[in-house]
């Protein structure tokens, strides 16, 4: 095997571990998830996990980074839309597209952020930064619409999503997400 092939295989294992961590942490929660659970989901021997991540917290941080990468990619794609209203409706439609996943296990990042908030080791702040990124982007869209109350509207929109995500998960009813997101789109049109 060439050095390049070894490097590619190593990168592939690390990426699989991070993807598995995102999935398993979402489905089981931080406290109930072990490194062995993540290794199994990634198809990687548990001993290999320690080559990439010395602790479970390092793997959790990598999962948070992966959520951040996905969020930034989504927001960059939405930024190509012509109007701030179209961009806001785009994020709402993105949320709607995740209704089945949310119904099963909650908002992928919101549940992780909520669980990490109970810790006092700095991971709570790491998660808060990512939610702050979303609120900040939404605020920029409302500012572009000329709204002086952009921050308040941004918090209201993200809070509405997180609230309906909780209810969608609690009642295992994806239709709740669909209905609330349609209402949020009408709300954007009314501003």
97 and 180 co-located in one domain: yes
Q: Is the pTM of this model over 0.85?
A: yes
Judgement on whether residues 47 and 84 belong to the same structural domain of the protein? no
Q: Residue 150, CB half-sphere, CA atoms under 13 Å: how many?
A: 17
The tens digit of pLDDT for each residue in 46-98 reads 999 999 999 999 999 999 999 999 999 999 999 999 999 999 999 999 999 99
Distance CA 21, CA 56 (A): 10
Same-domain pairing of 87 and 166: yes
Residue 151 to residues 12, 28, 143, 147, 155: CA-CA distances in angstroms? 40, 33, 8, 9, 6
Measured in whole angstroms, the distance separating CA 182 from the mean position of its chain's CA atoms is 21
What pLDDT does residue 127 have? Answer: 84
Residue 5 pLDDT grade (very low, low, confident, very high; cuts 50, 70, 90): very low
Question: How far apart, in whole angstroms, are the C-alpha atoms of residue 130 and residue 113?
Answer: 9
The domain containing residue 1 runs over which residues? Answer: 1-54
Do 126 and 157 belong together in one domain?
Answer: yes
In a domain, residue 59? The reply is no
Same domain for 42 and 74, yes or no, is: no
Burial of 73 (0-12, 13-18, 19+ CB in 10 A): exposed
60, part of any domain: no
Is 1 in the same domain as 75? Answer: no
Q: What is the pLDDT of residue 150?
A: 98
Q: Which token pair is 117?
A: 């908030």
Domain identity same for 44 and 102: no
Q: What is the CA radius of gyration of the chain?
A: 18
């Amino acid at each position: 095997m060439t050095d390049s092939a070894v490097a590619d295989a190593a990168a592939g294992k690390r990426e699989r571990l991070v993807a598995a961590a995102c999935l398993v942490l979402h489905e089981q929660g931080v406290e109930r998830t072990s490194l062995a659970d993540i290794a199994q989901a990634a198809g990687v021997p548990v001993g290999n996990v320690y080559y990439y991540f010395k602790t479970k917290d390092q793997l959790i941080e990598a999962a948070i980074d992966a959520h951040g990468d996905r969020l930034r990619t989504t927001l960059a794609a939405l930024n190509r839309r012509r109007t701030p209203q179209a961009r806001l409706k785009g994020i709402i439609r993105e949320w709607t597209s995740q209704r089945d996943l949310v119904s099963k296990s909650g908002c992928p990042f919101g549940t992780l952020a909520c669980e990490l908030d109970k810790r006092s080791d700095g991971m709570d702040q790491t998660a808060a930064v990512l939610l702050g990124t979303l609120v900040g982007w939404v605020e920029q869209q409302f500012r572009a619409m000329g709204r002086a109350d952009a921050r308040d509207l941004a918090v209201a929109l993200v809070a509405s999503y997180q609230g309906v995500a909780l209810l969608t998960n609690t009642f295992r009813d994806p239709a709740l997400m669909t209905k609330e997101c349609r209402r949020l789109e009408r709300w954007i049109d009314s501003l």
